[in-house]
Amino acid sequence: MIILDENVRCLVQGITGRQGSFHTKQMLEYGTKIVAGVTPGKGGKKVAGVDVYNSIEEAKEHVDVNASIIFVPSQFAKDAAFEAIKHLDLVVIITEHMVSHDTMEIIEYANRMNTIVIGPNTPGIITPGVGKLGIMPHHIFREGNVGIVSRSGTLMYEFASKITEAGFGQSTCLGIGGDLITGLDFVDVLRMFEKDPDTDVVLLIGEIGGDAEERAAKYINKMSKPVIAFIAGFTAPPGKRMGHAGAIIEGGKGTAESKINALKDAGAYVVKKPSEVVDIIREM
C-alpha cells in the first residue's frame, strides 16, 4: 500500500454539503478513519455520527487528525486547501473546475510545507481492506498486488473491476486528477509503487493531452517492476476538448500515438482494452 494506511486519520472539509455528507457515510462504511468534519459556521453539528467543527484548528484541539478530503465548491477550495496544508500531512481535493492559478498556488504551498496533495478533480485513493479517501464505488476493489494510477476515475473503476472479476486484486488505486495541473503526478506515484512491497505490478491509465505520460515513460525505463499502460483518446480530433481539462491535443503534442510510443520504448506493456490487462497479469 502507498499513502493510505491504518495510521491515516482524516477530516472532511465541506462535510455538511450534499456530496460531503454522502461520501462521508460511504467512507465510514468502508472502514476509513473519518474522525471529524469541518464546515465554517456549522460547528457543533454531527454528520453520520462525526463531529463537525468550524475550522481545522478547532478540530485538532479535540481529535488526532493528519489528513483531509475536500468537498468544497471551487470558489472556496483554495482557502480550504491552504488551511489543510498548513495543519496536515495529506490533502485530497475532490473539487472540480478549479482555476489553474489557484491549483499552482496550492501545490507551491504544499511543496513548502511538505504536504502530499492528491488532485484536484480526483476520485481519490483507495487501499482495499484499509479504507478510501474518495468517491470510488468500493465494492469493485479487492485486496491484491496490482497498483493502479490513473488520470481518469471512470477508467480506473473499469480496469479495477476487470482485475477483480478475474480473481486478482489491487494494492492501492490512486487518481491523480484530470486537470492539466495536479498535486501528485504519474512519476511521484510510480516512484512510490516501485518501493512498495505490496505492489508487484503497476497499471498506468493515461489519456491524450499534456506530457504526463511521456515524463512517466522516462521513469518507467528505470523501474524494476513491470508496468502495463493504457492511453485513452485514440480517436479524439486535435483541438477538441474532451471530458478533462487536461485532455486536449494542441500543436501536435499530447497525442495518443506519441504517448504509446514513449511507453513502449520504456518497456511498458501497452494495451488497447481492459481485458488485455487481465491476460498480461495472468501470464505474469
Q: What is the pLDDT of residue 252?
A: 56
Domain boundaries 136-283, corresponding CATH code: 3.40.50.261
Check for a shared fold between 10-118 and 136-283. Answer: yes
Q: Which residues are catalytic?
A: 244
Q: Is the pLDDT of residue 164 over 60?
A: yes
pTM score of the predicted model: 0.94
pLDDT digits (tens, 9 = 90+) for 25-68: 999 999 999 999 999 999 999 999 999 999 999 999 999 999 99
| pLDDT one-digit tens code per residue, 97-147 | 999 999 999 999 999 999 999 999 999 999 999 999 999 999 999 999 999
Q: For 262-276, write each residue's pLDDT tens digit.
A: 999 999 999 998 889
Q: Which residues contact 75 (CB under 8 A, 6 or more apart)?
A: none
User: What would the pLDDT profile of 209-219 be if each residue is shown by its tens digit?
Assistant: 889 999 999 99
Smallest CA-to-CA distance from 257 within 240, 272, 275, 267 is with: 272
The pLDDT score that the predictor gives to residue 210 is: 86
Q: Can you say which residues are annotated as belonging to the binding site for CoA?
A: 16-19, 42, 94-96
For 80, the enclosing helix (H) or strand (E) is helix 74-87
Helix, coil or strand: residue 105 = helix
Task: Say if residue 248's pLDDT is above 90.
Answer: no
Picking from 72, 69, 61, 63, the residue whose alpha carbon sits closest to that of residue 39 is 72
Q: Is the pLDDT of residue 236 over 80?
A: no
Q: What is the pLDDT, as a whole number, of residue 274?
A: 86
- Contact between 217 and 265 (Cβ < 8 Å): yes
pLDDT bracket for residue 250 (50, 70, 90): low
pLDDT in tens, 64-90: 999 999 999 999 999 999 999 999 999
Residue 204: all three cell numbers together: 498506468
Binding residues: 16-19, 42, 94-96, 157
Q: Angle between the 74-87 and 100-113 helix axes, to the nearest 10 degrees?
A: 0
Domain residue spans of the chain: 10-118, 136-283
Distances (CA, A) of 84 to 69, 101, 108, 115, 215: 9, 18, 14, 9, 29
Q: Does domain 10-118 have CATH number 3.20.20.140?
A: no
